[in-house]
Every structure is written in structure tokens, then in C-alpha cells.
Amino acid sequence: MITDYARTFDYDGFMEELEAAFQGYGKAAVRDFVAMKRRDPFRVLIGTILSSRTKDEVTSVASERLFAEAPDTEALAALPEVEIEELIYPVGFYKTKAKHLQATARMLLEHYGGEVPSTLAELLKLPGVGRKTANLVLGEAFGTNAICVDTHVHRISNRVGLVETGTPQETERDLEAILPERYWIRYNYHLVAHGQEICKPISPYCSRCALTPYCRRIGVARSR
């Protein structure tokens, strides 16, 4: 549900403060990696699949190790599943991800000429790709305005008081209705870092948060 607060919210001021604060954060390793590989849809897609439930520094190292052996769709499709497992270990759920990566590469070859599709509907057909991954690929690889909602974006959007939602998909839907489209791609990029550095799930660092004037601290029982 979109809140009344969201209808009069200063999105420009909020994003300005968020982006300024971001400059002082240790940027997420996977985001630095994605930024370096931007406009390479294959690497953005694979790196994003690997990043799920995995620390950023682990994702970055595993991605580079995998791409050294499989720099493109054809090479990844040809790798035995067990070899993919070895290359991406210890990312979370590495066995399942190895299966999905191989299946995705083969599907790209069979149905998309080896290229990553550039629409949400087609991306969601790929093994292991959900809305979060698909939207991030659209934004980072293709420059398509899309809101990628992960746990940080979902939590902080509710905590600030913009939405009152129970699932990331509900948050995505409501943010699309209220967040100016020019901020869609950057919103996730900066909120992820903010969630990792300041707006923790439990006991966030409200005392040093630049966004305090904008935040209603919904659900915050204690803070630092």
C-alpha cells in the first residue's frame, strides 16, 4: 500500500542526500563489478545470479574466476556442471546456481542466439532469474528504467514510510507508482549500500544517518 506520507514526500531531496552519503560508503563489491562490466548483459546477468544470498566480495571473486574460464554464453554452456560448481564455490547455493547457470547459457544459445534478452518477460523465462535479477539486468545492462527490489530496498522503503507492503514484489509495484522514473535505477544502487552501511535490519545507525529528516523509522524498536 502506498502511504499518505509518500504522496507529499520530497523525492529529490531524499535522493540528493542518499547519493551524497553514498560517496562515503564502501561501495558493494558486486556493484563495482557490475559497473565495470556495464553494457555487457551476459556478465551482468551471470554476476547477478551469483550474488543472490552471497557476500559481495565472494561474488566478485567467484565471478572473475568463472569468466576467466567462460567469457561468453557458448563457453559457459560447454562447461560441465561440476566444473562450474568448483569455479563459483563458495557462493551461496553454489550447486543450484551451477545448474541454473549452465541451463541459462544453453537456453540463451537455443532460443536467443546466445544473447541476453532485453525484456522483463523474456528474462523471467531464464532458469534462476526472478524479478530482482531481471530488473537489475534491465537497468544495469540495457539502461532500461526498472526498479530492482531486494531485501534492502524492501526494508528501507517500508521503514522510511513510503510504502506499507509485505513482499518485495508489492514494494516494486508501489514504488513504480510513486518514485520518479529518473531515480528507478539509482534507487536500488544507493539503497543497497545504505542498507549495508547504516540502515541495518536490526538496530540501524540512526544517529549517523543522513536520511533521518525523511525517515519515519517504521518498525525500528532500537537504534544506535
Side chain identity, residue 60: S
Express as a percent the part of the chain with pLDDT over 70. 94
Q: Are 189 and 28 in contact (CB under 8 A)?
A: no
Q: Which of 37, 40, 97, 132 is catalytic?
A: 132
Q: Which of 4, 150, 174, 200 is catalytic?
A: 150
DSSP label at 210?
T
Catalytic annotation present for 97: no
The pLDDT score that the predictor gives to residue 29 is 44
The pLDDT score that the predictor gives to residue 97 is 97
Catalytic annotation present for 4: no
Q: Are 18 and 192 in contact (CB under 8 A)?
A: no
Is the confidence at residue 36, as pLDDT, over 90?
no
For residue range 131-185, what is the model confidence (pLDDT) as tens digits?
A: 999 999 999 899 999 999 999 999 999 999 999 999 999 999 999 999 999 999 9
Q: Are 22 and 198 in contact (CB under 8 A)?
A: no
Confidence of residue 31 (pLDDT cuts 50, 70, 90): low
Centroid of chain to Cα 96: 19
